[in-house]
Chains A and B, each alone.
Chain A
Amino acid sequence: MRHERTIGGTIANICIYTFLSLFALSIIFPFYNMVILSLSTFADAATTRFVPLPANLTFENYERIFADPQILTSFWISFQNVVFGTSMALVITVFTAYALSRRNLPGRKFMFYFMVITMFFSAGLVPWYLVMVNLGFVNNFWVMTVPGILSTFNVILVRNYFMSLPESIEESARIDGAGEFIIMWRIIVPLSMPIMATVALFYAVGFWNSWFNAMIFIQDRSMIPIALVLRRLVIENSMTINDPMGLAVAAQLVHSRALELATVTVATIPILLVYPFLQRYFTKGIILGAVKA
């Protein structure tokens, strides 16, 4: 007996699909529009609002981006942040989560709360900033990664996943004489690939997108990541672009607008590329990791 066969069921299905399709369209359309405008000439971007295809297809904006030394440098910095940051983060997260997943470890409750409290109470921006300055993080490449390599939320996800694995696997390894390190690295981690992929994606995307630490600690322009370049492009332009009084300089602004959108597109592409491959792990990883947080 399936409800879908009835007329009421069909109507319900139509409503459901319409609703979901509209929401999906509302997500796709802005990105589509962005790509189209980034492939348009300055003049077309100035006059066209939205068209299915660019009137005069051009890759000029992209050529300009990749000819800009600042943007290339910033992409390289962001790439390094993702690689170094994610690898450090995965190691320390696995270590921590593994320790917290031991069921008969004396003091594990204290260790857990020591960590979780920091999720809900923090000193605030200013005391944190002063400590960071004292630790020598001003104009330091590592300020963009090191303070972000341990997310309590991710540790809890990984710990819960570890705890959901049957204990018998580990016990048999122990009987065979495997040490803690071997058990963690050779048995537990390979069994936890869905959550590893999920957490790796969280960290990688986080590092790719982060701009705040760079904004307040890094003055050297050769060290700023692409996310911060975007912020400067987008936010600094926004007031004039939205300002009808600024029409006097419109030609120049539209010029930078098309370039800006091309830059945004280029910054989105890496996420777009890795995301579908890792997306299938999410639900699996989250089910076991998060349900009992």
Chain B
Amino acid sequence: MKKTLRRVWAQRYIYILFFPAVIFLVLFAYAPMFNLQTGGILMAFTRFSMRASNFFELEWVGFHWFNVLFNRPDFLNAFFNTLLISFGRLLIEFPVPIVLAIVMNEVRRNAPKRIFQTIFTFPNFLSWVLIYAVLQDLFQFTGAINAVRGLLGLDPVLFLSHSSSALNYGLIFGSSIWRGAGWGAIIYMASITGIDPSLYEAAKVDGANRWHCIRHVTWPGIKPTVVVLLVLAVGNAMAGGFDQIFQFINAVNRPTLEIIDTYVFSFAFGQGGMNQSFAAAAGLFQAVINFLLLLSANKMMKLLGTDGLF
């Protein structure tokens, strides 16, 4: 005990360095969760009012708002869309950076490799607002894509305000891959460079071709990274991508693109009829599902014999 205290005292300046982070996290992460004035996460179980001066003056309604949520078709629709989009992202978007990294690794010359990498990672640094503006330019009624369709004798399509779910999800997944695949590939390329080159030499001596090398050297080499990122992706699945969808959503495609995040937003800030407790309940529901997904993904990875995340 005394020894520990001495070690704490010896490193007191280190704790001082950590102190700003504590203040930051308490103010912006923990105060919203645990709060005597608004109730924090407990707000979802009350009838919140700005007039109440503290949590104990709020009317406790138990699971009332959750009941309301699950009886509202628009919430169920948002929930369903969130699941659909999230699983779509895991299935369609997640593997692309892995493939891209492996293909880019097959480029042996350094100069083209660097040029490709520079181009591929660039869109990731632009906000979705910018990306949407750029895409709008291509996909609008008089845009380049419709011009090509015109040359092929096809009718123009209102891509960005269309009620077709396949079209909307295609745009969401496609633009997300377009923006993020190059960036996502960097981390896999980093772990490929960590593979011992002698493994490739040995495989070649044994007569392995390129495909064999990818299959039996590269893939096992990046698998641990894939696992970690997969757990993180599953744990973030319910997030659905507010930044992106908030730009794409409009009155026409709202039924297919409404996710819990956009739903919460519209109830928190008025468009859907202001109701903070209701919005808080929807948000809490999402956060809890998200956390459970993360824990179960982590557990599953452990059961499959890999390290997992924690």
Say yes or no: A120-B291 contact (C-beta < 8 A), given A127-B33, A211-B127, A291-B190.
yes
The reply to whether B25 and A123 form a contact with Cβ atoms under 8 Å apart is no
The reply to whether A121 and B291 form a contact with Cβ atoms under 8 Å apart is yes
Q: List 12 interface pairs A-B (beta carbons < 8 Å), by A numbering.
A: A16-B107, A105-B14, A118-B30, A129-B268, A131-B27, A131-B35, A209-B130, A227-B129, A243-B141, A283-B117, A283-B190, A287-B193
Q: Which residues of B contact A251 (CB under 8 A)?
A: none
Say yes or no: A105-B11 contact (C-beta < 8 A), given A120-B290, A127-B43, A147-B28.
yes
Q: Which residues of A contact B28 (CB under 8 A)?
A: 128, 131, 147
Q: Which residue of B lies closest to A20 (CB)?
A: B116
Complex CA–CA separation, A275 to B124 (angstroms): 11
Interface membership of chain B positions 1-30, coded 1 if the CB is closer than 8 angstroms to chain A and 0 otherwise: 000100110010111011011101101111
Complex CA–CA separation, A27 to B180 (angstroms): 11
Complex CA–CA separation, A234 to B246 (angstroms): 12
Say yes or no: A180-B25 contact (C-beta < 8 A), given A124-B283, A124-B287.
no
The reply to whether B251 and A239 form a contact with Cβ atoms under 8 Å apart is yes
The reply to whether B35 and A127 form a contact with Cβ atoms under 8 Å apart is yes
Say yes or no: A209-B127 contact (C-beta < 8 A), given A120-B290, A125-B268, A291-B194.
yes
Q: Which residues of A contact B160 (CB under 8 A)?
A: 238, 242
The reply to whether A241 and B31 form a contact with Cβ atoms under 8 Å apart is no
Say yes or no: A150-B279 contact (C-beta < 8 A), given A124-B41, A127-B33.
no
Interface membership of chain B positions 204-225, coded 1 if the CB is closer than 8 angstroms to chain A and 0 otherwise: 1000011000000000000001
The reply to whether B158 and A31 form a contact with Cβ atoms under 8 Å apart is no
Binding site for B on A (CB under 8 A): 1, 3-4, 8-9, 12-13, 16-17, 19-20, 23-24, 26-28, 30-31, 33-34, 37, 46, 49-50, 92, 95-96, 98-100, 102, 104-107, 111, 114-115, 118, 120-131, 134-135, 147, 149-150, 155, 179-181, 184, 201, 205, 208-212, 216, 227, 230-231, 233-235, 238-239, 241-244, 260-261, 264, 267-268, 271-272, 275-276, 279, 282-283, 286-287, 290-291, 293
Complex CA–CA separation, A135 to B251 (angstroms): 34
Is B61 close to A, CB under 8 A?
A: no
Q: Which residues of A contact B230 (CB under 8 A)?
A: none
Interface of B is mostly: helix
Q: Which residues of A contact B87 (CB under 8 A)?
A: none
Say yes or no: A50-B190 contact (C-beta < 8 A), given A3-B210, A127-B40.
no
Q: Which of B7, B13, B17, B247 contacts A96 (CB 8 A)?
A: B17
| Contact residues, B28-47 vs A (CB, 8 A) | 28-33, 35, 37-41, 43
Q: Which residue of A lies closest to B136 (CB)?
A: A238
The reply to whether A20 and B103 form a contact with Cβ atoms under 8 Å apart is yes
